[in-house]
Amino acid sequence: MTKLLEVKDLHTRFKVRNGYLYAVNGVSFTLDKGEMLGVVGESGCGKSVSMMSLIKLLPPAAEITKGDVVLDGQDLAKAGKSEINAVRGSKVGMIFQDPMTSLNPFMKIGDQLCEGIIYHQKMKKADAMKQAAKYLDLVGISNSTHRLNEYPHQLSGGMRQRVMIAMALLGEPELVIADEPTTALDVTIQAQIVELVKELREKLNMSIIWITHDLSLLAGMVDRIMVMYGGSVIEEAPIDEIYSSPRHPYTIGLLKSIPSIKTETGSRLPSIAGAPPNLFVQPKSCPFAPRCAYRIDRCTKEIPTLEPVKGEGGNPAHRIACWVDVTTKGEAK
């Protein structure tokens, strides 16, 4: 497959009163054209900040200190403000977490959809409205011409998220970043949005990065999963291997904590002991070491690099950042 995106050693930090918060620490990955990547991890692990860093969609206190972000041959890390503005909404689309707060309550749906088309494609308002109606139809919103004249509060939560998806697709981007787009929706609407995104991906042949804290949501949806912890990528593998053969202690712990239909009533779900790392201190060792049952002396002294799994049947596409090789049964080798 043709490579669309390559990220190398990305670092992002936030200026705070007494120093810095190190949110992203050396993230590296690639994405092929037409591929769907799931980025998973607990709250505060840096998954959203790392993906927002790709297009510099960050608050004033944030600073990208290191790294390369090459999208279809263009280095976005070195791009200026005007170059980045040209990329956002055209080459890269965004679907945000909560459509109610992402949409302007004082603007009609049509006006909000047309802004991006007029800016990027220099289209007249009437033509932009026709284009907007076309994309509302594409995402499954009926009576689209009427909906263009409505305000966000007149739509249901699921319909508002469909509007956000249409907005992300209007510029016909090569890459769409979806930042937990189903979190604010109930389960049945979640399923509808997931199916819609899968259909659109096939129809438009676009690449998607889907950010979530819910591992079970990604099953049967993405091609590959990237697990993050403490601002770093700790495991990356094809979807089937993550579920059948996780190799990092943190990933194993995450999967064990997912409720199963076989779980006995009244039994306690397994949990990962300890607390997330202190991101106000720049990491100098494995961020998961204080919580890991398999840590060795090296884990507390060196930051592990993301390397292909070793041993019989090892897949080069399955990479872990761990000094200890752990089997799926949780046994240290």
**Domains contained in the chain, CATH given:** 3-222 (3.40.50.300), 227-320 (no CATH)
Q: What is the pLDDT of residue 53?
A: 97
The fraction of the chain above a pLDDT of 70, given in percent, is 97
- Which residue in 77, 52, 51, 33 sits closest to 175, CA to CA? 33
Which structure tokens are listed for 253?
């712990």
How far apart, in whole angstroms, are the C-alpha atoms of residue 41 and residue 45?
A: 6
Q: Residue 310 pLDDT > 80, yes or no?
A: no
* pTM attached to this predicted model: 0.92
Q: Give the residue, 178 or 329, on which the prediction is more confident.
A: 178
Dihedral angle computed from the Cα positions of residues 266, 288, 57 and 198, in that order, rounded to the nearest 10 degrees? -50
Q: What is the pLDDT of residue 258?
A: 81
Band of pLDDT at residue 314, cut at 50, 70 and 90: low
Q: What is the pLDDT of residue 312?
A: 54
Q: Residue 329 pLDDT > 60, yes or no?
A: no
Q: What is the pLDDT of residue 327?
A: 64
Q: From residue 69, how far is each of 3, 36, 57, 94, 312 by CA, in Å?
A: 13, 18, 13, 17, 34
How far apart, in whole angstroms, are the C-alpha atoms of residue 298 and residue 321?
A: 13
Band of pLDDT at residue 55, cut at 50, 70 and 90: very high
Rounded mean pLDDT, 39-50: 94
Q: In what order do the strands lie in the sheet with 319-320?
A: 92-95, 175-179, 207-212, 36-40, 224-229, 232-238, 319-320, 307-308
CA 114 to chain CA centroid, Å, is 26
DSSP string, 8-61: EEEEEEEEETTEEEEEEEEEEEEEETT-EEEEE--TTSSHHHHHHHHTT---TT
The fraction of the chain above a pLDDT of 90, given in percent, is 70
For residue 204, give the H/E element and its range.
helix 187-204
Beta bridge partners of 88: 92
- Which residue in 37, 38, 40 sits closest to 214, CA to CA? 40
- Which residue in 285, 286, 328 sits closest to 309, CA to CA? 328
214, 221 contact by CB (below 8 A): no
Tallying the residues shown for the chain, one arrives at 333
Q: Which of 66-75, 124-133, 245-254, 307-316 has the lowest mean pLDDT?
A: 307-316
Q: Give the residue, 329 or 132, on which the prediction is more confident.
A: 132
